[in-house]
Amino acid sequence: MNQSPDLLRRLLRAKDRMDGAPHEAWPIHRLAQVSAVSEAHFARQFATAFGVPPHRYLLTRRIERAIALLRDTELPVTEIAYQTGWNSLGTFGRIFRDITGESPGELRARLQPAPHARKQAPECLVRAAHRPDLKTAVSEKRRREADGKMETQPTTEAL
């Protein structure tokens, strides 16, 4: 489906607002208002234009920011969670692990380079390399993990 240049500009306006303030709440009605289209039309067209629904895009931006803060600062995980728009540390930790495969503390320990190694790669490349993949919904990832765990667990008959 071809989208008009005017509609794409409106969608980009909403995307730019999310990029500029990912810590803020961005319900569909607010994004639709920024784009000057109906809520249902906005949700469909955003997903068509950018390949992911608006909420998943916002999750990606929040997790990217959290990863950068974990890597580049000594802020406590709680502070990072609140700065990146999460109201609950538990929700932040659960979704962070679902998306990245490790806890914020584990990721911090793995990613924090030695001070002399930080300036070797351009920031844009570092961010692109660590960008979370949210092409699959978090609930779908959980379901797949549960299915995989059930398959790999030994049965009582084998014991």
- Predicted pLDDT at 53: 95
Please indicate, yes or no, whether residues 12 and 68 belong to a single structural domain of this protein: no
Find the mean pLDDT for residues 71-89: 93
Domain that holds residue 13: 1-51
Identify which of 14, 81, 21 has the alpha carbon closest to the alpha carbon of residue 53. Answer: 14
Together in a domain, 67 and 131 = yes
Task: Say yes or no to pLDDT of 73 above 70.
Answer: yes
Q: Which of 90, 97, 111 is nearest to 63 (CA)?
A: 97
37 and 59 in a single domain? The answer is no
Q: What is the pLDDT of residue 135?
A: 67
**Average pLDDT value for residue range 38-45:** 95
- 86-116, pLDDT tens digit by residue? 999 999 999 999 999 999 999 999 887 655 5
**141 CB-side CA count, 13 A:** 14
Report the percent of the chain where pLDDT is more than 70: 83
pLDDT for position 152: 44
Q: What is the total count of domains within the chain?
A: 2
Q: Using CA atoms, how far apart are residues 81 and 75, in angstroms rounded to an integer?
A: 10
Q: Are both 97 and 46 inside the same structural domain?
A: no
Is pTM beyond 0.85? Reply is: no
Whether the Cβ atoms of residue 85 and residue 62 lie closer than 8 Å to each other: yes
Q: Do 130 and 60 belong together in one domain?
A: yes
Name the amino acid, one letter, at 87.
Answer: N
In a shared domain, residues 21 and 66: no
| CATH code, domain with 122 | 1.10.10.60
Q: For the range 98-103, what are the long-range contacts, defined as Cβ-Cβ under 8 Å and sequence gap of 24 or more?
A: 98/138, 98/141, 98/142, 99/59, 99/63, 99/132, 99/133, 99/134, 99/138, 99/141, 100/63, 100/67, 100/132
